[in-house]
Structure 1
Amino acid sequence: MQLERIGVALRPRTSQEALDLGMTLLRAHARPVWSAWFAFTLPMFLLCQAVAWLLGMPWLGFLLPWWLRPVFDRIPLYVLSRAVFEQAPTWRATLRAQRQWSWKRTLAGLTYLRVDTNRALRLPMELLEGVAGKQRRARWRVLSRPLVGVASGLTWTCMAFEAVIAISLCLFAAWMLPNETLPDSMRDLNEAFTLPAFRHALVWIFSGVTYVAMSIVEPLYVAAGFALYLNRRTQLEAWDIDLAFRRLRERLLEAGVGVALLLCVACVPSLTHAADTQTHFKQAPVLVVADAFHQPVDDQDAQFARAAAEVYRDPRFGQERRVQRWIPRQQPTLKPAEPNAWLAGMIGNLGSALINLLLWGLLAVVVMALVIFAVRHVRRVSMPSLAPKEKPKILRGSAVHDEPLPDDLAAAVRKRWDASHRREALALLYRGSVQRAALALRMQAPIDATESDWLRHARSMDDPARRERLIAIVRTWQLAAYADRYPTDTHVDELLSGWPAQQVAP
């Protein structure tokens, strides 16, 4: 393997550090990853929507892209597996290279392994190593033993992120709609759901939203699984130690001890193979991904093939053994007593005692203060109030109020306005106007109706003059209540000149 050309620092990491490495690797090569992703997945997504539309089954437009995720995951994995060797391919090269990979394991991922929560870790092992049969199963046991929980947690976390993104996009679209366009009740919404066109449109929209969420999260999912795979192989095969020895060999060659190194290489055939392999890798670049991750087990290296077969047949392969030993604890050596040590110890004990006494005193003061506060609070609550309390005046925008309306609404509003109680005057005008509007519309005024509700009710009035006057009164009250902007005396006179401030015969 070309460890010298790898672009990441090879060292054993924790699972959390490996996940961070995957995110960092994706950020460094975001453009080639997402360009190849959209070049491959977007036509496939549109094709799925076309199939769903032709079959008259809109739900297939959502189900088929989800089912084809193992096929989509091949794209970011190929880009990242080349990017770690500083050879990030273009999207055209990525699409052409898909024919070189075996589709047998991808078909397995589309069938009986479709709901596998360890897909992010299984995918690089199956596509990059190319091991088949019993060796693949043994290899998977070794790779996945300490990472099954981490891989499953990664799957569920990414699913949660996708759900959050999809729901957020839907809520954002609903939030952008104006209040006037929203249905007045859930009954209208239920009636809209009975229309087939409305349901189909919602399915198309939801399919597009889920595709956007998948395009954001799925490359992150593949990159994190690929980083876990690299970290596990580093732990198993000691890539960091191998790389350190290769760098040491290069320094020794540069120092002029090449003759001794050649003698050692001649005695050890495996080192000769490593040196020849390194020279070959320096002369020729990586052409396919399998050259970087797949170990040579063909007839060209029969010795390595036999050794690998023996290792796989060994019953101890893939097993772990934990050995515990009791080691006596070393007794601490006693230092000789220093002169005047008793005086220093006495001073230290006296200081600690004083600090302890101060802390206990502070605690006693806090407890006494809490007791005094509790007693005073109980006395204040239990003692009856001597002076009657006046009820606070609450200005509410609701159309329903406990106090009855005056007979002459215009005169009452004018009286409060002239007395400089402008807010109370406009509140009374708004309350009386919406109540008389409810009588004109032959409806009961809702308790929780807001200004926006009364604006919608005003637009349903048949009389244009009354409709415009009621809208003007509601707008005037909104500006006064929420923006502290009051009208002029002339504008108040116009509002009080006719209905609803004055009773007008229908």
Structure 2
Amino acid sequence: MRLEDITVALRPRQPWESVDLGCAMVRRDYGSIIGLWACTVVPLWIVVCVVLRSSPEWIPLVVWWLKPLYDRVPLFFLSRAAFGVRPGFIETWKEWPRLWLSNCLPALLWRRLSFIRSFALPAQMLEGLRGSAVNRRIKTLAMDGGGSGVSLSYAFSKIELVVWIGLMLGTYGMLPESAQPDWDGLMSAFDVENAVPAGFLWWGAACHMVVVSLIEPFYVGAGFALYLNCRTRIEGWDVELAFRRMAARLTSAATALVIAVLTLFGLQPSAFAAEGKDPDKVVKEVLERPEFEIHKIQTKEWVPEFKTPDNIDSPPHLSAFGAIGELLFWVLIIGLVVWLVIYLVNNSHLFTSRGASKTAVKAPKVLMGMNITRESLPDDIVAAARAAWAAGDFKEALSLLYRGSLSWLVNRRRVPIIDSDTEEDCLVHVMQAGEKIEADYFRLLTGAWVQVAYASLPASNDEMGRLLDQWPFIEKGGEA
């Protein structure tokens, strides 16, 4: 590529002018870029989805982590379009393996979390540097445009997040009911595994891929424009291009003839030659002009100087302060240790599993107006509940199961339920107790009990049958 063929107006710009230029370059050929994106990036996403089909919650993370590979396709197109050459599908497909394999491991490992990723990508891909040469080149460019690259990455990350959330909120109503999460269960018991269906996770991953496809080319284009602006400022590309175009205009035959004539006349002896100045003095005067001033960037590194104890002359009273400070330090450490021991002793029930704690609070006898003592329950709770259900007393049947489960949980399992807790509070305590079978059963039972107690909606026969058949507690609750 020749610098004279560039189609971008090269001049030193402000950083956000360069960002706007990069976005304009992407808008000009957005259709072609998206077409190449679909042919090269989407197949990789299909492979990712197939590999992670059993764990769709990891797909957005993997798609995000592989972004450095996607960015190379828009950069390949923009770097050639800037010089008037727009690569097609065949040319891009031929370059595809080289684009993705070049510097692949560094881009996905130690350079993945770089905050100037789109700004540094042209230096890695277009200048043909390797190893430490790439690091030195990026460091040199970052001295002029690194701050703008960081701001660009921050801004586009926030834009991508907002658009992703907005797209999910805007299309949430289109999801079937089976794919919508159980927000009540998710918020009250943090039961992510059961409350978030796989359909919701696949939908979130698809929305993320759409957002990345729409926004990522603009991020790459803005970083490429920052790179061009940085090289223009450092290397004077605009001045070099102006001189090259001027030289091209001065190579015509007429200009050459005029130069030849002037040269012949210049060879004649001049009366003023004797009065000429010393050439060395003239050169020195010219080089001292402001336009020939050499600008250098100097960096200073501060290195602390540590004095040895022999070089320090401390007054005597400072030694006393040092001793007092050391004493206070050890008093503080001992106090923290004593406080930690007292805290662990008083809260030992928080660190015991299952029902082994013997210091649990006194089990309540009445919860939500219901008597849950062992004496108030029948010997065979399941049989009594089944008989009440058969007799049409649906509320009494669920009441027996609910009271029996609460009695067993507070007396046998030692779940820290107090007499002022509500149904939701009890469910949270049971979910936190750590027994999955009992927690799952109690969650279903609580839902059925709340419906019949407050909405007079009895459970279905199938649901009641499961509650009776899957009863996980011993009879009557209490001690075994």
- TM-score (ref. length: structure 2): 0.51
Cα contact 2:68–2:107 (8 A) shared by 1: yes
Selected match of 1:135 from 133, 136, 141: 133
Change (3 A) 1:173 1:131: same
Shift of 1:17: 0.8
In structure 1, C-alpha distance between the alignment counterparts of 2:43 and 2:259, rounded to whole Å: 56
In structure 2, C-alpha distance between the alignment counterparts of 1:158 and 1:125, rounded to whole Å: 20
- List per-residue Cα deviations over 1:451-478 (Å, max 9, x = no partner): xxxxxxxxx999xxxxxxxxxxxxxxxx
Matched, 1:10 2:10: yes
- List per-residue Cα deviations over 1:174-223 (Å, max 9, x = no partner): 356899x9999835987996665953222211111111111111111100
In structure 1, C-alpha distance between the alignment counterparts of 2:124 and 2:219, rounded to whole Å: 17
Equivalent residue, structure 2, for 1:31: 31
Letter in 2 for 1:47: V
Equivalent residue, structure 2, for 1:145: 143
Equivalent residue, structure 2, for 1:306: none
In structure 2, C-alpha distance between the alignment counterparts of 1:80 and 1:94, rounded to whole Å: 12
Structure 1 segment 40-439 matched on structure 2, within 5 A: 40-53=40-53, 56-101=54-99, 103-174=101-172, 186-187=184-185, 198-254=196-252, 256-258=254-256, 320-321=297-298
Cα contact 1:141–1:318 (8 A) shared by 2: no
Cα contact 1:121–1:151 (8 A) shared by 2: yes
Cα contact 2:40–2:96 (8 A) shared by 1: no
Cα contact 1:79–1:88 (8 A) shared by 2: yes
Letter in 2 for 1:254: S
- List per-residue Cα deviations over 1:248-279 (Å, max 9, x = no partner): 112111252347889xxxxxxxxxxxxxxxxx
Equivalent residue, structure 2, for 1:21: 21
Deviates further, 93-102 or 238-247 = 93-102
- List per-residue Cα deviations over 1:2-22 (Å, max 9, x = no partner): 122111101111111110110
In structure 1, C-alpha distance between the alignment counterparts of 2:138 and 2:180, rounded to whole Å: 54
Change (3 A) 1:45 1:196: farther
Letter in 1 for 2:73: I
Change (3 A) 1:30 1:188: closer
Deviates further, 155-164 or 167-176 = 167-176
- List per-residue Cα deviations over 1:325-384 (Å, max 9, x = no partner): xxxxxxxxxxxxxxxxxxxxxxxxxxxxxxxxxxxxxxxxxxxxxxxxxxxxxxxxxxxx
Secondary structure in 2 matching 1:142:
helix
In structure 2, C-alpha distance between the alignment counterparts of 1:12 and 1:203, rounded to whole Å: 46
Cα contact 1:26–1:223 (8 A) shared by 2: yes
In structure 1, C-alpha distance between the alignment counterparts of 2:188 and 2:118, rounded to whole Å: 41
In structure 2, C-alpha distance between the alignment counterparts of 1:132 and 1:85, rounded to whole Å: 24
- List per-residue Cα deviations over 1:130-186 (Å, max 9, x = no partner): 12344333322221112222111111111111111111111112356899x999983
In structure 2, C-alpha distance between the alignment counterparts of 1:47 and 1:183, rounded to whole Å: 27
Equivalent residue, structure 2, for 1:350: none
Letter in 1 for 2:50: A
Shift of 1:91: 2.8
In structure 2, C-alpha distance between the alignment counterparts of 1:196 and 1:318, rounded to whole Å: 65
- List per-residue Cα deviations over 1:100-159 (Å, max 9, x = no partner): 448342220101111111111111001000123443333222211122221111111111
Equivalent residue, structure 1, for 2:471: none
Cα contact 1:142–1:318 (8 A) shared by 2: no
Cα contact 1:32–1:89 (8 A) shared by 2: no
RMSD (CA atoms): 3.5
Q: Structure 1 vs Structure 2: percent identity of aligned residues?
A: 33
Change (3 A) 1:95 1:162: same
Letter in 1 for 2:164: A
Cα contact 1:158–1:221 (8 A) shared by 2: yes
Segments of 4+ moved more than 4 angstroms: 175-179, 181-185, 187-198, 259-262
In structure 1, C-alpha distance between the alignment counterparts of 2:181 and 2:6, rounded to whole Å: 59
In structure 1, C-alpha distance between the alignment counterparts of 2:33 and 2:239, rounded to whole Å: 30
Change (3 A) 1:99 1:114: same
Change (3 A) 1:254 1:57: same
- List per-residue Cα deviations over 1:436-492 (Å, max 9, x = no partner): xxxxxxxxxxxxxxxxxxxxxxxx999xxxxxxxxxxxxxxxxxxxxxxxxxxxxxx
Change (3 A) 1:192 1:182: farther
- TM-score (ref. length: structure 1): 0.48
Shift of 1:29: 1.1
Secondary structure in 1 matching 2:10:
coil
Equivalent residue, structure 1, for 2:427: none
Equivalent residue, structure 1, for 2:411: none
Q: How many residues align?
A: 271
- List per-residue Cα deviations over 1:223-266 (Å, max 9, x = no partner): 0000000111111221111111111112111252347889xxxx
Consecutive unaligned residues of structure 1, counting only runs of 5 or more, are 263-316, 323-459, 463-506
In structure 1, C-alpha distance between the alignment counterparts of 2:88 and 2:80, rounded to whole Å: 11
